[in-house]
Structure 1
Amino acid sequence: MLRQTFFASRRVCYAFCKVFGNREFSISATNKMRLLQFKYQDKQKVGIELKDGGDVINLTDADPQFPDNMVAFLEKGESLLNAARKYSGAQSHIITRSEIKLLSPVTRPDKIICVGMNYKDHCLEQNAPIPEEPIIFSKFPSCIIASGDPIVLPKISDSVDWEVELAVVIGKRGKNIEESEAMDYVAGYTVAHDVSARDWQMQKNGKQWLLGKTFDTFCPLGPVIVTKDALPNPHKLALCCLVNNFPMQDSSTDQLIFKTEEIIAWVSQFSTLEPGDLILTGTPPGVGVFRKPPVYMKPGDVITCEVEGIGRITNTVVAEE
């Protein structure tokens, strides 16, 4: 029965991959925002995207209370989010999309926390048992890039793989957070690509995962942060990864073993969560390493990761010079 459910999910999400690229997600209410970082006239700014892929409101230049980076913006808390909401319907300080360079919505967070083996269907594809507690690893903030930036294949790896993920963006500081209160600490969600060098993850360095996960450019992120009120149920979203427009991963966040609240409560026992921290919640099946034969990224590949209700990030693969 589980295997039948798995393949049914693949059919549903394949259809999602086929149509999602043409969809636009408009802001239907002023409290629902698509926050982004961008460069305008060679300076970094924070703003609100009017619709998926559309023009932006330049918050940084609209009012001196808005900083030029997302971590500082989130550190100011709910009061600044509420101030930003007042601008979401404004007709001033709008910049056309062609005038900006999109950046990752969060740069240099304090932490990138990742959860491994967190999809039931991903466990199924590798005949692995369902974990009894979250499997946690990390990536260095230096590996973050934006949609449109190149993923660089390191010379010392020949097994670089894709992993689409829903990422949770922390909005306020917290330690020993109760599961029932965990969503109070969430600012919103974004799309993450947990690029993975499988040889360094599974064979080298004592089989610790860290080095295989954190080469430079191994965390494409974006295109925006969708505030949590825009996605009231993050555990029922289609997500997929396309390689050269061919769907390799397609599933739903309803396959998550440990949900957002559980992960936040678990991690906060060990580490204080800070505004701007990222939690990558895991990847579904379809990764290259478990294909027969395995398939890995090569120079010239174009990788697109998509999550329903948030958007898509696309990166071209290049060889390290």
Structure 2
Amino acid sequence: MRIAAVHSADGKIFGTVAHDEFRPLLIDGAPVRDLRDVIALLDAGPDALRHGPATALASLTLAAPVGPLTKNVICVGKNYHDHALEFARSGVDQSGDRQERPEFPVVFTKATSSLADPLQPVPASADPTGTTDYEGELGVVIGKRCSKVGPEEALDYVFGYTVVNDVTARAVQTRHRQWFLGKSLDGFCPVGPWLVTADEMGPLDGQMLVTTVNGERRQAAPLRDMIFDTPTIIATVSSYVTLEPGDLIATGTPAGVGIGFAPQCFLVPGDIVTVSIEGIGDLVNPIS
């Protein structure tokens, strides 16, 4: 099942997507406004679902299909082999760990205020260093309260998957010797175009993640190329932080980011970035 959020006259609402139509989900006749309520409805079974009238998806404005988030977006860095090498050689990594293959998952967060919608302009002009970069990633949405789970059971706690662009101000990331500020500018975390539930997505393996800038392919890798797979990430994070329904994890980016080019290729106003994952869809954002 595909779960989308759209902007309505009364604010952001959630619903299902099928055959290029959006059908709002209802509770007691009112639109659903919280992804956690969507998760609870689907957990109760198909008989619990109530829909409003269908509307052509093309006539609506998509919103980020998550939220309201109760904690920061949890992110994993240096999680594809080629990108870990690219990042180690870029001179950007000031985390104190410049290994080409991390021994343990590298975990950081992005502020909830960085969340952005599909097609929402990403404000590179707000980055005073002019070093805004893209990072196409698989997003994982938690479906059940999750604490100290093992990798073998971790996928049982996944509600669905989406696409994330972990936009980063590289010079800020370097200057402050940590990643939070450079990752958390307003609008620097586009998510979408929708969620695909775990049962529909199936096993994560050869699905391709591809990022293009103005139609030029920059990143391309199968999801199986992650150093730490999704079960390992969930097990690692939940060992220390209790995960709750609706929490969003961005699982890392493959090689091909702007800092890996010579000369480096940063985003500028007028660019169009598209992050695509097979089985989910295309997350498109202009740069402003």
Q: Does 1:238 align with 2:211?
A: no
Q: Give 5+ residue unaligned stretches, structure 2.
A: 90-98
User: Quick one: distance in 1 between partners of 2:116 and 2:127?
Assistant: 19
Aligned in 2, Cα 1:38/1:120: closer, same or farther, shift over 3 Å?
A: same
State the shift of 1:42 in Å: 3.9
Counterpart of 1:56? 22
Aligned runs of 1:292-311 on 2, under 5 Å? 292-311=262-281
Does the 8 Å CA contact 1:288/1:295 hold for their aligned counterparts? Answer: yes
State the shift of 1:75 in Å: 5.0
Does the 8 Å CA contact 1:235/1:256 hold for their aligned counterparts? Answer: no
Counterpart of 2:260? 290
Q: Letter of the 1:163 partner, please give it.
A: E
State the shift of 1:66 in Å: 6.3
User: Quick one: distance in 2 between partners of 1:299 and 1:95?
Assistant: 32
User: Quick one: distance in 2 between partners of 1:106 and 1:80?
Assistant: 20
User: Quick one: distance in 2 between partners of 1:167 and 1:302?
Assistant: 20
Does the 8 Å CA contact 1:77/1:171 hold for their aligned counterparts? Answer: no
Q: Does 1:36 align with 2:1?
A: no
RMSD: 2.0
Does the 8 Å CA contact 2:13/2:31 hold for their aligned counterparts? Answer: no
Aligned in 2, Cα 1:270/1:82: closer, same or farther, shift over 3 Å?
A: farther
Q: Does 1:93 align with 2:58?
A: no
Q: Give 5+ residue unaligned stretches, structure 1.
A: 1-32
TM-score (norm 1): 0.81
State the shift of 1:157 in Å: 2.3
Aligned runs of 1:1-321 on 2, under 5 Å? 33-51=1-19, 54-60=20-26, 64=29, 67-75=32-40, 78-79=43-44, 83-84=48-49, 93-111=53-71, 112-126=73-87, 128-153=99-124, 154-202=126-174, 204-205=175-176, 207-318=177-288
Q: Any idea what the Cα deviations from partners look like across 1:80-129, whole Å, max 9, x if unmatched?
A: 66633x86xxxx72111244221100133123110000001212334552
Does the 8 Å CA contact 1:105/1:221 hold for their aligned counterparts? Answer: yes
User: Quick one: distance in 1 between partners of 2:41 and 2:287?
Assistant: 36
**Matched residue of 1:151: which SS?**
coil
User: Quick one: distance in 2 between partners of 1:117 and 1:81?
Assistant: 39
Does the 8 Å CA contact 1:190/1:222 hold for their aligned counterparts? Answer: yes
User: Quick one: distance in 1 between partners of 2:212 and 2:253?
Assistant: 14
TM-score (norm 2): 0.90
Aligned in 2, Cα 1:109/1:75: closer, same or farther, shift over 3 Å?
A: farther
